[in-house]
Amino acid sequence: MIILTLNCGSSSAKYQVYDWEKKAVLGNGVVERIGENISTIESNVPGKEAYSRKRACPTHKEAVELIIATIIDKKNGCVPDLSEIKAVGHRVVHGGEKFIKSVIVDDNVIKTLQELSALAPLHNPANITGITGAQQVLPDVPHCAILDTAWHQTMPDKAFMYALPYKWYTDYNVRRYGFHGTSYLYTAKRAATLLGKNPLETNIIIAHIGNGASMCAVKNGVCVDTSMGLTPLEGLIMGTRSGDIDPAIIPYIINSTDMNANAVDKILNKNSGLLGITEKYIDRRDINEGVEENDERCILAQDMESYRIKKYLGAYSAVLGRVDAIVFTAGVGEMSPETRAKALSDLESIGVKVDMKKNAVSKSQNCETCISTDDSKVKVFVIPTDEELVMTEDTFALMNGTYDVHTNFTYSFQDPSYVNRNREESLPGDLKRKPGLENIIIKAR
């Protein structure tokens, strides 16, 4: 059985093709520049050369059509026939308070997601268009929505409410929602497995650090707080997003310039964060090079990003009381020892002791590592996330009637013997490039 997963952004559509019986990724890729004159698809199939093709994709429907055509292409594809695809899982960013778990898409689900689009105007419309476009191309298979916000619906009201007029919550749905839910689900379950503990007895702080970044406090296996809020703008310093600021800055800038609220909002989302500080860089690799060259802005940007992470680590340690592990994940969390080193320094008072030599070696998206010292009370793991696998397993379980909310559901990757075959095949290359990496790989108990 083959399951297709789609992650449609405002101008892109990522996909993965998964063979359920073989437990292997058959192919993946992305269509970029949707809505422009010419879009591009980049496709990767194990054992074949990377494939690229240009085509006009004015909407996500054409992008999905291009993905399907690429998947079944006799030379460059990975599926012999369209009939092989038995289900499609779709990432949806915002489910508001309406969804506490993944769901099979029907007309009522589409209607609800449309009603919630005001809460995620850059994401939900694209997600919905991707779903309806895929339904037109694959009308005879179930389509499932996997929602970023569902994981966070266990937060207590003292954590998700803002100290604003209560009517803003009841009339306009203003509250903390949180995002990166599928990533948190995967890494929380994996961390519990690595610790040899029941997930529902495990307390973890997870830092999902990428161009978009957030953190999550997990108590007894469920989310109790997270750094992103009503939108993905709140919280950590990100590639182009400001994260936490004094809200009075917004009217101050409006009154001091000729900008309106929409212009300021665009700057906070698109021209702030690391880009705003350095005025030229988003990629942490560029910033790391700038730090090595004593670029003062790059040094400031790196210090600010890591300092904000450290502040949330301290806050969430207080929230949880007992912390079993801290987890770093996503592109930067997995691949930037520099960011981790500064964020984790001088935390012995809360039981965190990091081996900086281990940390420097941990730079791989194909293995799970432990970078804390042997006597650290709190373990520190680097766990490559796998949102697509969560989407795939939810989709399979939904179509088979075996799915339930994650506290009542067991994923394949919770098994101590679980192996990601694609990562296992790619790991030897990392081991050659990073001497010592093999010594910090952690195995599940």
CA atoms within 13 A on the CB side of 366: 16
Amino acid at residue number 114: Q
Task: Give the integer Cα–Cα distance in Å for 124 and 95.
Answer: 9
Q: Which long-range contacts (CB under 8 A, 24 or more apart) does 426-435 make?
A: 426/366, 427/364, 427/366, 427/367, 430/364, 430/366, 430/367, 434/361, 434/363, 434/364, 435/361
The last residue of one of the domains, among 113, 147, 181, is 147
Torsions phi, psi for 199 (to 5 deg): -55, -35
Split into its structural domains, the chain has a count of: 2
Same domain? 357 vs 435: yes
Question: Does residue 72 sit within a domain?
Answer: yes
Task: Give the integer Cα–Cα distance in Å for 414 and 389.
Answer: 12
Give the pLDDT confidence of 73-100 residue by residue, as tens digits.
Answer: 999 999 988 889 999 999 999 999 999 9
What are the catalytic residues? 148
Q: Residue 19 belongs to what domain range?
A: 2-147
Torsions phi, psi for 207 (to 5 deg): -115, 105
Q: What is the mean pLDDT of each run of 10 residues along the chain (445 residues)?
A: 89 91 92 89 90 89 90 91 92 92 95 89 85 90 95 97 98 95 97 97 97 96 97 94 96 96 94 95 92 96 97 98 97 95 96 97 96 97 96 96 95 94 91 94 87
Task: Give the integer Cα–Cα distance in Å for 333 and 203.
Answer: 19
CB neighbour class for 391 (10 Å; exposed up to 12, middle 13-18, buried from 19): buried
Contacts of 390 (CB under 8 A, 6+ apart): 146, 182, 185, 186, 411
Same domain? 19 vs 143: yes
Same domain? 210 vs 291: yes
Counting every residue written for the chain, the total comes to 445
Same domain? 86 vs 222: no
Strands 24-32 and 85-92, by their bridges, are unpaired
Contacts of 277 (CB under 8 A, 6+ apart): 297, 300, 301, 304
HEC assignment per residue over 168-183:
HHHHHCCCCCCCCHHH
Supply the pTM of this predicted model.
Answer: 0.94
pLDDT at 133: 87
